[in-house]
Chain A
Amino acid sequence: MATETLIWLLPLPPILAFFLIVLFTNRSKWFSHTIAVGAALLSWLGSMIVFIRAVQTEHLGQHPFESSIPWLATGDTFLKIGVLVDPLAAVTLFFVAWTVLMIFIYSVGYNNFGQPKGDHDKPGLPPHGATATDNQGHNHAVLSIEPMYSRFFAFIGLFAFGMYTLVVSDNLLTLFVGWEIMGLCSYLLIGFWFQKPSARAAAIKAFITTRVGDVFMLLGVAYLYSETNTLSFREIFTPENLIRLAEKPSVLPILGLSTAGLIGVLLFIGTIGKSAQWPLHVWLPDAMEGPTPVSAMIHAATMVSAGVYMVIRMFPLLSAGMENGQLTAAMQLMAVIGSFTALFAATIAVAQNDIKRVLAYSTISQLGFMIAALGIGAYVAAAFHLVTHAFFKALLFLGSGSVIHGMEHGVLHTGNHHVDPQDMYNMGGLRKKMPVTFWTFLIGGFALSGFPLVTAGFWSKDEILADAFGHHHWVVFGTLALAALLTAFYTMRQITLTFLGEPRTEEARHAHETPWTMLLPLVVLAVFAVTFGWVGIPEDFMGLRLPPNWFHEFVGGTLLEHPEKLTFNWLPLLTSLFVALGGLSLGWVVYIKVKAGMGDPLAKPLGRVYGWMKNKWYHDQVYDTLFIKPAYWISEQFTYLFMDRKVIDGFLHLFARLTPWIGKGLREKIDLPVINGVIGDGSARVTQYFGRRLKFVQTGKVQQYMLAALVFTFATLVYFLFTLRP
């Protein structure tokens, strides 16, 4: 099959799976997951073929796989729909296909396929467990199957469609369509257990917060279209276009932004929403209310990465006008927001006890790394970290899901439902109970911390730090290094609290390893979390002569101007070695001795700062005061009481009174005298009058009629004879 045709077909299987499950197989759990996983497998297979062909193509950057057709006519031009796989899309496709497939498989086990129906499970609530009787007649509490099993697979199928569409699309419009489909699925899946009020609130929060970003992004798309008359990436990123956009001042005379700058900033605000950057990061931690595979796929590996993917895509536009390493306004904004978010989210992650929330803040922080990297122009490093992060963060989330599952097993065993299976302080010592989960989680955690030399996270994070150092962005470098230190620290804190030491609760003592459908994805992703870093090793690393940096060569080819390589410097390497190892050992030292019932050892020395960190620097409270309360107040006082009750109802009452008055006037002044009197009765009277006068003509005598006809015929004849004579 031609590669372009194959690319067109990539998003298709998941959407077909969605419709098949929704319309036909939703009663059968086995069919539903078979179809969904089968569809993911097909897309995966296609993606791998495309990826391999892309890798084998020389100069893919200049001659990418592309194909497009006219889609929407807008006046004289067409908006096109099309596909494009250049090096950037190829590597994105690679990690998306792998993580999506793995998470689909994981979902089968996570949703307890093969377990009995719950004793009192309701749709819209997580499964509570069932009672099973064994051969000897003993009753056991066991995990029960998710009541809305098929719906889950339908939703993640639709989501996968959105993600594939976004990755392969060759223009901003279809990218935006995929973007919004994912937003919808995110909303649906966060609120999957919709009977939990917290899940409902989280879903709404996620939807509305990302909407803020999306509105600005749409503005950016529209502005871009009005300036360039096209939304296709390849047509926008011509040197003439970029120079023109960079030199033309924008419509808004603020900050002296160029057109390219303003468009870039608007699009970047979309990313702030989607990739949960400060100040729109508040939705992502709450999104952990959704099932864990959803957190792994949507809120770690793919959807939030899509925001970063979009800005990496738009990098030529964002950097348009960059001269001699002088950053553009949009890039400065990205560098500031990204590095601030990276540090800020890392501080919050240090003080969270919920195993998934730590990972959520860690995701925000890592996305901040990528944004900051892009902001300082480290294009390849950002893309590299995007890919490696997707692998190890999906791994960590799936690992945390496995841990929670194991803990739920323990909770069912003891029957004490007040124990929160997600609280790390209830865990401890799980390494013996769940060895596979432990080792894969350890690999993921070390990759996240940037454990030197072996893990993927080390190479990508080191590249970002080296880039910041090499281009003398000291503030960014310092901030990111500090964030990396905290990252290693909270990761080790998490690993130590969860897996090491002794079990702190009875539940943790009875935790149980999860089924193979959940372990297989962990192992596969763990392999990538290690090996994928090796494709991007700088060739002059530590002064050695290594094979060329494949990732840099390949992805760098996406840009018109191949990004230059950094020369090796010992300082950033030592920094990243120090922060990774220092953070890890510090985390181990501080938390290894935590016993049951003890609080966080950091709470005392940090004092009030710890409280701020634990309460997320009070963002939710501030937003509540700044936006939500005023919004409620405006809805209540202004919209409801003033606008609705006074103005609109007033208008309505006015009309209600005005209408009979006008109607009465019309009837008395127009209808009765004019219509009835003149037109109605008058015409009747006239007809009657003439009827009376003329009736005598009708004698009933046929010969008189004949005579009359004759006379008229004769007269007509005479008339024509005299008038028509030439």
Chain B
Amino acid sequence: MIPLSWYLLFAAALFCIGLFGVLSRKNAVAILMGIELMLNAVNVNLIAFWRYLAPAGIAGQAFAIMVFAVAAAEVAVGLALIISVYRRRDTVAADEIDMLKW
């Protein structure tokens, strides 16, 4: 059986990729995608811990499903915001959306 640490390493890698995407990409949509990756890395962690440490309960699965639901909602809101910004400002580049600047 694959040891738990492999899953953790995988999840960490996935999280870092997502984080890099969020920090480096200009396109707001791409940033959203990075966030999705990070959330899924968390999900991998939850499932892996559940499976290896507490397989009797259902807390891990329940949390994972909760994260799915939150992620879906977050994407819906995020995309709606991005579309709204695009309609007004003709751009989806994150560093151009800086109306809250000093």
Contact = CB atoms under 8 A, between A and B. Distances in A.
B23 A706 contact: yes
Q: How large is the interface on B (under 10, 10 to 19, 20 to 34, 35 or more residues)?
A: 10 to 19
A700 B101 contact: yes
A703 interface: yes
A701 B95 contact: yes
B23 A703 contact: yes
7 contacts: A698-B100, A699-B101, A700-B98, A701-B94, A701-B101, A703-B95, A706-B22
B98 A701 contact: yes
Nearest to B98: A700
Given A701-B95, A702-B94, A707 B23 contact: yes
Interface string B33-51: 0000000000000000000
Contact of B97 (A698, A702, A707): A702
Contacts, number: 31
B99 interface: yes
A574 interface: no
Contacts of B94: 701-703
Interface in A658-717: 695-696, 698-703, 706-707, 710
A700 B23 contact: no
Contacts of A698: 100-102
Contacts of B95: 701, 703
A696 B101 CA distance: 8
Interface residues of A, number: 11
Which among A696, A702, A707, A710 has the highest number of chain B CB atoms within 10 Å? A702
B67 interface: no
Interface string B1-32: 00000000000000000010011000000010
Contacts of A710: 19, 23
Contact of B99 (A696, A700, A703, A707): A700
A695 B22 contact: no
B100 A703 contact: no
Contacts of B22: 703, 706
B80 to A, nearest CB: 17
Contact of A700 (B19, B31, B100): B100
Interface string A289-302: 00000000000000
A706 B95 CA distance: 12
Nearest to A704: B95
A701 B102 CA distance: 11
Contacts of A696: 102
Contacts of B101: 698-701
Give the one of A699, A700, A710 with max B CB within 10 A.
Answer: A700
Nearest to A699: B101
Contacts of A695: 102
A212 B102 CA distance: 85
Given A698-B100, A700-B100, 8 more contacts: A695-B102, A698-B101, A698-B102, A699-B101, A700-B99, A701-B98, A702-B94, A703-B31
A269 B6 CA distance: 106
Nearest to A695: B102
Contacts of B100: 698, 700
Contacts of A706: 22-23
B54 to A, nearest CB: 25
A695 B100 CA distance: 11
Please list the 3 inter-chain residue pairs (A to B) with the smallest Cβ-Cβ separation, ordered nearest first: A700-B98, A700-B101, A695-B102
A54 B23 CA distance: 105
A692 to B, nearest CB: 10
Contacts of B97: 700, 702
B32 to A, nearest CB: 12
A128 B98 CA distance: 102
Nearest to A691: B102
Interface string A47-63: 00000000000000000
Contacts of A702: 31, 94, 97
Nearest to B22: A706
Interface string B77-102: 00000000000000000110111111
A700 B94 CA distance: 10
Contacts of B98: 699-701
Nearest to A705: B100
A685 B82 CA distance: 40
A55 B97 CA distance: 108
Contacts of B99: 700
B100 to A, nearest CB: 4
B16 to A, nearest CB: 11
A703 B22 CA distance: 7
A295 to B, nearest CB: 95
B88 to A, nearest CB: 15
Contacts of B23: 703, 706-707, 710
Interface string A171-203: 000000000000000000000000000000000
Contacts of B31: 702-703
A710 B18 CA distance: 13
Nearest to B99: A700
Contacts of A707: 23
A696 B102 CA distance: 7
Contacts of B102: 695-696, 698-700
Interface in B39-74: none
